[in-house]
């Protein structure tokens, strides 16, 4: 079949990329005829998924290989590849009939065919990666992994081209996945290897199936004025060649092929109309040497009007793959744009044949073309691998980043295996089934108990190979084994899998630490009579986001239980009940009671404000008769008072603030109005520089005298949680609420309350 992309193409060099790169098959008498005779009874009447007869397909593939320079041995291998699936023991049979090299090539190619077929046909919902583009990217990586033996790649390229040709000739539709894979995997691979005739034709055919309307429209535009355009270009070509030679510049001027996909891609990439695409009218000038190239460029620019924005000098600054040429666009007298490429013959053959030029032109010197030696077949193979490696590094994702940073790529340290649903999984070289399980899902890795590799149960520490299918046998629950972290047992290679196993055991240890801390905290709450307190509230008051964070710190002994005790109860000493007895009258009735407190129903008793709760007007207060110190005045909600009252309720007496009593009688006491009372304020805040100063300034502005400060920090000195107790003097506790609201507004203050 003659495709549209072949029309007008320049014949490529006969240098054989296939033979030079990978055809190490032994030369046997009549190998091609013997291989076909061997395969014919097996393949006759058999058809591929596309409906094409397999034997006819093999014949066509062998012809394509011969066209690009494949030897008879390489062509013979084609028939053996398609025979494998019809043999019970293909390796043994082919080895006996043709030798080990033929058997290895046939089996490797068959495996790759099966891998690609599974990846295309697998239900997208059951694939590991649901994005088709990502899945195709993995298939492309797998092609690279298999390309250690370049013969496999060559056979697959030729086979895929024939499949596209058959579907186009038969007017049969191609599946979107096959066409997409051809355009985005196989064609770029052919491009990287420099097999341009396969690359261009495969792109056009795949594009024809993916976007038939656009393809037909572009083909129609090309044909619409084809005759007039070809006449103009032939006239221009011959005239330019003649003028160059007359000017003393030895050069050959040729027409250039027109490929539909490249035209559409350029139109879309630069938002151009069809008539604005310059390479619809294009010429190529092949000069004798580099000086001739620049001389030809100077002549072309003097002969025509150059388009300034459309000039590139890839001779002075070659592309990353070694491509060299001068590109310019000029306009003739009629204003028609023509693209002209100028290069030497060596540059041209490199552009046409890619890495084939390294060994096709040994006269380029010991360093060869683009700095790559071409002195041996080994060097030729290295040149191809470098091209493939460069393509590999263009892939996206962590693998590409690793290759750029370490100058080591997928060839060196990666393998690609399959899930039972044909999704491709990338793993490090030497990875095991346990690595595979963690790569699929962390939970599957934890529950992994066994594995079937290509259907056979094997030990979990068996190293995996490229292309193998791995099925994990898992338990319903459970966790990993500590043996997996033992490097001598070789269960894990992947850093990701190792980190997942370590994380599981760290989480297990953390759970034990949290349980230990919870038990200790709950015992403290029981001891302090605070069992009704919510653990979340306790953690919040201590500056933790959740209760487990508090338990973790306690379990690790990084937070003292004494800190929790101090937070739950005031640090002041609690008086023993034995210290309390009935008091004697301490002062004459004419003296004002100390602290402005009146004992209801009695003349006058010595009174003392309790230090544990520090009452101040207008708090509700009660008195408790003490031994030798008169009546202790407590706030009615004081926990110490409740404990003492429970043991000696007969010692409770009623008391009232003196100022309030006088007010009821219609008089006032100057002493009472001037009296101040010490009150404790507890402030919780994130510790920082200047915090104490900022809070003290609030009290100062509100005319409250600070007579004492105690601070304690939990955690780091800066950024930890600070507990600060301010003792301030107030005349009335009711005013304190307003001041506390101002303290809370200070930056980093979490809470402020009276103790």
Angle at 605 between CA 603 and CA 607, to 5 degrees: 140
Whether residue 750 contacts residue 565, with contact meaning beta carbons closer than 8 Å, is answered with no
Instruction: Note the pLDDT tens digit of each residue in 644-689.
Output: 888 888 888 888 887 543 333 344 444 444 578 888 888 888 888 8
Instruction: For residues 312 and 328, give the distance between their C-alpha atoms in angstroms, rounded to a whole number.
Output: 7
Q: Which residues pair with 623 in a beta bridge?
A: 633, 653
Instruction: For residues 688 and 716, give the distance between their C-alpha atoms in angstroms, rounded to a whole number.
Output: 10
Q: What confidence score (pLDDT) does residue 249 get?
A: 92
Instruction: Kindly report the CATH class assigned to 676-754.
Output: alpha beta
CATH number of 410-493: 3.10.20.30
Q: What confidence score (pLDDT) does residue 669 get?
A: 41
Decide: helix, strand or coil at residue 53.
Answer: strand
Q: What confidence score (pLDDT) does residue 409 get?
A: 42
Q: What confidence score (pLDDT) does residue 539 get?
A: 82
Q: What confidence score (pLDDT) does residue 455 get?
A: 86
Reference 10, options 369, 258, 361; nearest CA is 258
Is the bond into 618 cis (omega within 30 degrees of 0)?
Answer: yes
For residue 381, the tally of other CB atoms under 10 A from its CB is 17
Cα radius of gyration (the chain): 45
Q: Write out the residue limits of the CATH 3.30.70.260 domain(s) in the chain.
A: 676-754
Task: Look up residue 622 and give its two tokens.
Answer: 């009660």
Instruction: For residues 423 and 138, give the distance between their C-alpha atoms in angstroms, rounded to a whole number.
Output: 9
Decide: helix, strand or coil at residue 616.
Answer: coil
Q: Write out the residue limits of the CATH 3.10.20.30 domain(s) in the chain.
A: 410-493
Whether residue 321 contacts residue 390, with contact meaning beta carbons closer than 8 Å, is answered with yes
Reference 254, options 356, 383, 341, 133; nearest CA is 341
Decide: helix, strand or coil at residue 635.
Answer: strand
Spans of the chain below 70 pLDDT = 1-29, 115-150, 194, 224-226, 257-258, 274-279, 320-321, 351-413, 421-423, 569-596, 598-605, 628, 659-674, 715-719
Instruction: For residues 733 and 240, give the distance between their C-alpha atoms in angstroms, rounded to a whole number.
Output: 105
Q: What confidence score (pLDDT) does residue 27 get?
A: 53
Q: What confidence score (pLDDT) does residue 462 get?
A: 93
How buried is residue 148: exposed, middle or buried, by Cβ count under 10 Å (0-12/13-18/19+)?
middle
CATH topology of domain 4-210: Hypothetical protein af1432 (1.10.3210)
Q: What confidence score (pLDDT) does residue 463 get?
A: 93
Task: Look up residue 495 and give its two tokens.
Answer: 């850093």
Q: What confidence score (pLDDT) does residue 705 get?
A: 86
Q: What confidence score (pLDDT) does residue 704 get?
A: 87
Q: What confidence score (pLDDT) does residue 165 get?
A: 95
Task: Look up residue 625 and give its two tokens.
Answer: 């008769």
* Cα separation values, 116 from 423, 523, 561, 653, 698, Å: 10, 64, 64, 95, 75
What stretches of 99-255 show up as alpha helix (H) in DSSP? 100-121, 132-146, 150-169, 176-181, 187-193, 196-210, 212-224, 226-246
Q: What confidence score (pLDDT) does residue 116 get?
A: 65
Instruction: For residues 693 and 210, give the distance between their C-alpha atoms in angstroms, rounded to a whole number.
Output: 73
Q: Report which DSSP code applies to 182.
A: I
* Cα separation values, 72 from 32, 75, 155, 510, Å: 6, 5, 13, 67
CATH number of 223-371: 3.30.460.10
Q: Report which DSSP code applies to 725.
A: E
Give the contacts of 82 (CB within 8 A, at least 6 positions apart): 39, 43, 54, 55, 57, 58
Q: What confidence score (pLDDT) does residue 185 get?
A: 80
Reference 16, options 356, 427, 284, 287; nearest CA is 356
Angle at 367 between CA 364 and CA 369, to 5 degrees: 50
What stretches of 304-424 show up as alpha helix (H) in DSSP? 345-353, 357-360, 377-392, 398-406, 410-413
């Amino acid at each position: 079949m003659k495709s549209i992309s072949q029309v007008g193409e320049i014949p490529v060099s006969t240098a054989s990329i296939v033979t030079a790169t990978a055809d190490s098959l032994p030369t046997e008498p009549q190998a091609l005829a013997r291989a076909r005779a061997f395969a014919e009874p097996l393949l006759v009447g058999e058809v591929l998924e596309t409906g094409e007869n397999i034997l006819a397909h093999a014949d066509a593939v062998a012809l394509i290989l011969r066209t690009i320079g494949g030897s008879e041995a390489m062509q013979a291998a084609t028939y053996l590849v398609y025979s494998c699936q019809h043999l019970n023991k293909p390796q043994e049979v082919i080895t006996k009939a043709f030798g080990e090299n033929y058997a290895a090539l046939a089996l490797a190619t068959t495996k790759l065919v099966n891998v690609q077929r599974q990846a295309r046909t697998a239900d997208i919902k059951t694939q590991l990666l649901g994005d088709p583009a990502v899945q195709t990217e993995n298939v492309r990586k797998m092609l690279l992994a298999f390309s250690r033996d370049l013969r496999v790649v060559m056979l697959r390229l030729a086979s895929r081209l024939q499949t596209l040709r058959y579907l186009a000739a038969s007017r049969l539709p191609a599946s979107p996945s096959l066409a997409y894979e051809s355009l985005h995997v196989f064609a770029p691979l052919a491009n990287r290897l420099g097999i341009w005739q396969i690359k261009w034709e495969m792109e056009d055919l795949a594009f024809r199936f993916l976007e038939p309307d656009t393809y037909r429209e572009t083909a129609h535009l090309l044909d619409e004025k084809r005759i007039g355009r070809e006449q103009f270009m032939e006239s221009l070509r011959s005239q330019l060649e003649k003028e160059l030679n007359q000017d003393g510049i030895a050069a050959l001027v040729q027409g250039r092929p027109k490929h539909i996909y490249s035209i559409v891609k350029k139109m879309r990439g630069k938002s151009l109309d069809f008539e604005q695409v310059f390479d619809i009218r294009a010429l190529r000038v092949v000069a004798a040497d580099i000086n001739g190239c620049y001389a030809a460029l100077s002549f072309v620019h003097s002969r025509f009007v150059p388009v300034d924005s459309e000039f590139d000098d890839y001779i002075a600054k070659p592309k990353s793959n070694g491509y060299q040429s001068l590109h310019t666009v000029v306009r003739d007298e009629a204003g028609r744009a023509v693209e002209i490429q100028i290069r030497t013959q060596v540059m041209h053959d490199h552009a046409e044949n890619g890495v084939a030029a390294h060994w096709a032109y040994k006269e380029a010197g010991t360093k060869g073309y683009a700095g790559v030696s071409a002195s041996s077949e080994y060097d030729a193979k290295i040149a191809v691998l470098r091209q493939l490696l460069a393509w590999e590094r263009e892939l996206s994702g962590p693998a590409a980043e690793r290759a750029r940073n370490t100058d080591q790529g997928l060839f060196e340290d990666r393998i690609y295996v399959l899930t039972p649903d044909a999704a491709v999984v990338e793993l490090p070289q030497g990875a095991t089934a346990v690595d595979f399980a963690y790569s699929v899902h962390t939970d599957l890795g934890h529950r992994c108990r066994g594995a079937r590799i290509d259907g056979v149960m094997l030990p979990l520490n068996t190293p995996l190979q490229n292309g193998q299918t791995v099925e994990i046998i898992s338990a319903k629950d459970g966790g990993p084994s500590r043996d997996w972290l033992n490097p001598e047992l070789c269960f894990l290679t992947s850093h990701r899998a190792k980190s997942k196993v370590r994380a599981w055991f760290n989480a297990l240890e953390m759970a034990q630490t949290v349980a230990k801390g919870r038990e200790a905290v709950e015992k403290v709450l029981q001891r302090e009579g605070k069992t009704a307190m919510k653990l979340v509230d306790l953690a919040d008051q201590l500056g933790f986001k959740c209760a487990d964070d508090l338990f973790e710190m306690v379990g690790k002994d990084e937070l003292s239980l004494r800190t929790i005790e101090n937070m739950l109860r005031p640090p002041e000493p609690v008086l023993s009940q034995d210290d309390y007895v009935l008091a004697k009258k301490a002062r004459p009735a004419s003296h004002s009671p100390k602290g402005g407190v009146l004992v209801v129903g009695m003349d006058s008793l010595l009174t003392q404000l309790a230090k544990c709760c520090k009452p101040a007007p207008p708090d509700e207060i009660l008195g408790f008769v003490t031994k030798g110190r008169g009546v202790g005045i407590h706030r009615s909600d004081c926990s110490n008072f409740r404990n003492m009252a429970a043991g000696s309720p007969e010692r409770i007496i009623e008391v009232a603030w003196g100022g309030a009593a006088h007010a009821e009688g219609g008089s006032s006491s100057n002493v009472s109005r001037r009296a101040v009372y010490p009150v404790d304020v507890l402030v919780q805040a994130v510790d920082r520089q200047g915090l104490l100063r900022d809070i003290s300034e609030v009290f100062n502005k509100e005319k409250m005298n600070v007579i004492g400060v105690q601070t304690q920090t939990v955690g780091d000195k800066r950024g930890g949680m600070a507990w600060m107790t301010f003792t301030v003097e107030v005349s009335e506790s009711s005013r304190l609420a307003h001041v506390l609201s101002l303290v809370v507004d200070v930056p980093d203050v979490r809470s402020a309350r009276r103790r």
